[in-house]
Structure 1
Amino acid sequence: MGLPDSELEAPSPAGRMGKAAEYLVAATCILASRGRLNVATQLIDDEGIDLLFSSADAVTSLAVQVKARMSTSKRVKSETFMAFVRTQTFRPRPSLDMLFVAIDVDRGAIIAAWLVPSTVFAEEATESVTQGRYRFYASLKEGGRDRWQTYRLAPEELAPRLLARLRELDDRTI
C-alpha cells in the first residue's frame, strides 16, 4: 500500500532541470571526446558528487559536482553566473572538481562552463560563515574579468579539459 496522494511531494522542476543539465554535460563530454571519456552518475548525491569521469587512457577517475544555471534565470540573462556550495558537505580533494555550467534551455546546449579543482575553489571562493556556504560568482561576458576567468571554458573545450585533468591526476599517482 502506497502513501496517500496528500503525502506525496510533487517533483521539483529545479531538480529535474539540474539532473537534465548533468546528463547534458555527460552526453556532451562523451560525444565530444569521441567516446574516450566515460561518465558514471551517482544514485545518491549525499557526498556532493554528481558525475564521475574516467577514461581508458587514465588510471584514476575525477569526481565532479555540477552546479547549473539556466538561460531563463535573471542572473544568466544579465550575463552573470552565481552558485552556492554548502560548506557542510563540501570536502575539497585533488580528485574532485567543481563544474559550474550555464545552459541554454531553448537549444539544450552548454553556453559556458568553469571547471575548478575543488582545492582551488576552497581557497578562492567567497565564504559566508553566517549562511554556511561558498559563493561562486563569474561573468558570462566575453573578456569578463573575474577571479574565475582562467577556468572558463567554451563548450567545445570541456571534454579536452576533463581528459587533461585525468592525465594530471594520473601523473600525481605514478
Structure 2
Amino acid sequence: MDEEPSPAGRMGKAAEHLVAATCILASRGKLNVATPLVDDEGIDLLFNGVGTEAILAVQVKARMSTSKRLKSDTFMAFVGTRTFRPRPALDLLFVAIDVDRGAIISAWLVPSVNFAESATESITQGRFRFYASLKDGGRDRWLAYRLAPEELAPRLMARLRELDGHTTDRKN
C-alpha cells in the first residue's frame, strides 16, 4: 500500500506552486516555471524568462504562518550539506506563507554561492542554518536579500539577466 503524503509535504508542494503562479502572474507572463520530475538534488523550481536563455534553479524552503517561529517574527530553515552544491545558477528561496490568505508574506532570494559564504553550518547535524527576522526594523545577515511579495518576480527576472550576462551588478 502506498504511503499517504504528509500534511507538511502537501503544504510545501502547495507553497512551491504558489510561488510559481505568483511569479508568472506578477511578471505578466514574462517568467516561465518548470518543476523537475525528480527532487533528488534539492531543486524545486526552474525559472526562465522571455528574452533570456538562462535557467535559474531554485530550492524553496517554505514556512507557514501557523508555525511558532513565524508567529514570533522569525524565520528558520535548514539546507542539507550532503546535496547542497553552490553554483551561479542556483538560488535558495526562503518564503513565509500566510496560510489563511494563501499568500506570500515575505521572501529571501539568496544566490547559493552567497548562502554558502554566509550560512552557519552545523558540522554535527550536516546542515546549514538560515535564520532571519520578519520584523520591519530587523537587522540580520540576510536583510539585503529580503523581498516583499511584489519584489520577487522582478528580482527573479534580474537574476536571469545576470546569468545571461546582460548586467554586471551581481551583489544579490
- TM-score band (shorter)? over 0.9
CA distance in 2, matches of 1:157, 1:41: 22
**1:49 is paired with a residue of what secondary structure?**
coil
Tell me the percent identity.
80
Task: Find out whether 1:127 has 2:140 as its counterpart.
Answer: no
TM-score normalised by length of structure 1: 0.94
Give the total of aligned pairs: 167
CA distance in 1, matches of 2:36, 2:126: 24
AA of the residue aligned to 2:55: S
Equivalent position to 2:130, from 136, 139, 142: 136
Equivalent position to 1:111, from 70, 86, 105: 105
Runs of 4+ in 1 over 3 A off after TM superposition: none
Aligned to 1:102: 96
AA of the residue aligned to 1:20: A
Task: Find out whether 1:28 has 2:27 as its counterpart.
Answer: no
Tell me the CA shift for residue 43 of structure 1.
Answer: 1.4
AA of the residue aligned to 2:50: A
AA of the residue aligned to 2:29: G
Tell me the CA shift for residue 59 of structure 1.
Answer: 1.2
CA distance in 1, matches of 2:122, 2:84: 14
Gaps of 5+ in 1: none
Task: Find out whether 1:93 has 2:93 as its counterpart.
Answer: no
Aligned to 1:80: 74
Aligned to 2:58: 64
Aligned to 1:52: 46
CA distance in 2, matches of 1:91, 1:140: 27
Aligned to 1:146: 140
CA distance in 2, matches of 1:10, 1:35: 34
Aligned to 2:169: none
The CA RMSD over aligned residues, in Å, is 1.2
Tell me the alpha carbon deviations over residues 80-105 of structure 1, each in whole angstroms, 9 at most, x when there is no partner.
00000000010100000000000000
